[in-house]
Amino acid sequence: MAAFAAVYDYGHYGTLLKNNIRDAWWKHMVQLRDDVVGLDSANFMSSDDLEASGHVDSFDDPQVACRKCQNALPRRPYP
């Protein structure tokens, strides 16, 4: 169980509290200031991090090409 030591389940009220704290912080640190611009962007990891986490060796997301538009789509089993 050591692998799950950093995973938290806030529950309903904990999630509401966490979101209220986040929103209050954003309001006071970003929205109420004229010298700050808010930015929400993707997080990128280095290839060393991805390799250390096992994503490089064990990640598998097969794709197929659409015969009409030639776009690559994830191959998923139909229900």
Distances (CA, A) of 42 to 22, 38, 45, 65: 18, 14, 10, 27
pLDDT in tens, 39-48: 888 777 788 8
3-state secondary structure of 10: coil
Q: Which residues contact 49 (CB under 8 A, 6 or more apart)?
A: none
Q: Which pTM was predicted?
A: 0.45
| CB 72 within 8 Å of CB 65 | yes
DSSP-assigned beta bridge partners for residue 73:
64
pLDDT band for 38, please (50, 70, 90 cuts): very high
